[in-house]
């Protein structure tokens, strides 16, 4: 009897998962054809059930005012729900919202926190944004390092995005103002940052040695 109950529960979970995936895919299809109201209706129940991808997508809808009234605070709320589950795209978007102060009080430190989480999962956009921050005085202010060390970090982070043109543009800019020794140091650091799940660990180790 217990085995039958357990089997029934497993089947119910599988069936519900199928419904969830179907609803998500239908939302994606609706979004692609510009039917944002249907996308909202498909994703909302999944988001309420804790589906991180659906939560992130609702954040995008509220951010862009697609199918709903534009609302940055609601966008942040949905991004945060997905980010708290480790959804990299949501972590990156939440970092962006903190960086520019849309839907939340501007806070570069908080932006860096979320960018780092996303970058640790290989998110290219988060790495690029983080590299941009280290190209400004914010890098020295946040971590108490020299401007030279901040640029080394910026170069290393952008160097991770080998196939991302905006980062390659930043590398070109940095190479004109950095010494050869600093570029070599940055290249070595990049080799550590790019390793799977090693971004935060390597960055923290470098920061510790430069304070």
The string of pLDDT tens digits covering residues 43-68 is: 999 999 999 999 999 999 999 999 99
Measuring CA to CA, which residue among 133, 137, 115, 134 is closest to residue 125? 115
Compute the mean pLDDT over every residue in the chain, rounded to the nearest whole number: 90
Tens digits of residue pLDDT in 161-181: 999 999 999 999 999 999 999
Residue 18 reports pLDDT greater than 60: no
Residue 71, judged by CB atoms within 10 A of its CB (0-12, 13-18, 19+), counts as: middle
- How far is it, in rounded angstroms, from Cα 124 to Cα 119? 7
DSSP state of 197: T
Helix (H) and strand (E) counts in the chain: 12, 0
Q: What is the pTM of this model?
A: 0.88
- How far is it, in rounded angstroms, from Cα 110 to Cα 13? 37
User: Both tokens of residue 160?
Assistant: 């991770």
Place of tokens 């659906």: 54
- How far is it, in rounded angstroms, from Cα 25 to Cα 1? 36
Residue 11 reports pLDDT greater than 80: no
- How far is it, in rounded angstroms, from Cα 94 to Cα 71? 14
User: Both tokens of residue 154?
Assistant: 């910026």
- How far is it, in rounded angstroms, from Cα 44 to Cα 106? 28
Predicted pLDDT at 10: 31
Residue 123 reports pLDDT greater than 90: yes
Residue 22 reports pLDDT greater than 80: no
- Model confidence at 211, pLDDT cuts 50, 70, 90, reads confident
Predicted pLDDT at 7: 33
Across the range 142-152, mean pLDDT stands at 96
Predicted pLDDT at 8: 34
């Amino acid at each position: 009897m217990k085995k039958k109950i357990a089997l029934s529960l497993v089947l119910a979970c599988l069936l519900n998962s199928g419904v969830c995936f179907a609803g998500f895919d239908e939302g994606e299809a609706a979004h692609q054809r510009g039917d944002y109201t249907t996308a909202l209706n498909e994703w909302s129940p999944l988001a309420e059930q804790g589906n991180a991808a659906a939560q992130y997508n609702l954040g995008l809808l509220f951010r862009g005012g697609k199918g709903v009234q534009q609302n940055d605070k609601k966008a942040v709320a949905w991004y945060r729900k997905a980010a708290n589950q480790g959804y990299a795209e949501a972590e990156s978007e939440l970092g962006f919202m903190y960086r520019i102060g849309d839907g939340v009080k501007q806070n570069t430190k908080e932006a860096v926190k979320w960018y780092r989480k996303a970058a640790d999962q290989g998110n290219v956009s988060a790495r690029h944004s983080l590299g941009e921050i280290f190209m400004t005085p914010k890098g020295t202010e946040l971590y108490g390092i020299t401007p030279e060390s901040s640029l080394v970090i910026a170069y290393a982070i952008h160097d991770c995005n080998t196939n991302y043109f905006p980062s390659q543009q930043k590398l070109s800019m940095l190479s004109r103002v950095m010494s050869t020794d600093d570029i070599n140091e940055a290249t070595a650091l990049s080799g550590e940052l790019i390793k799977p799940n090693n971004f935060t660990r390597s960055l923290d180790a470098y920061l510790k040695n430069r304070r």
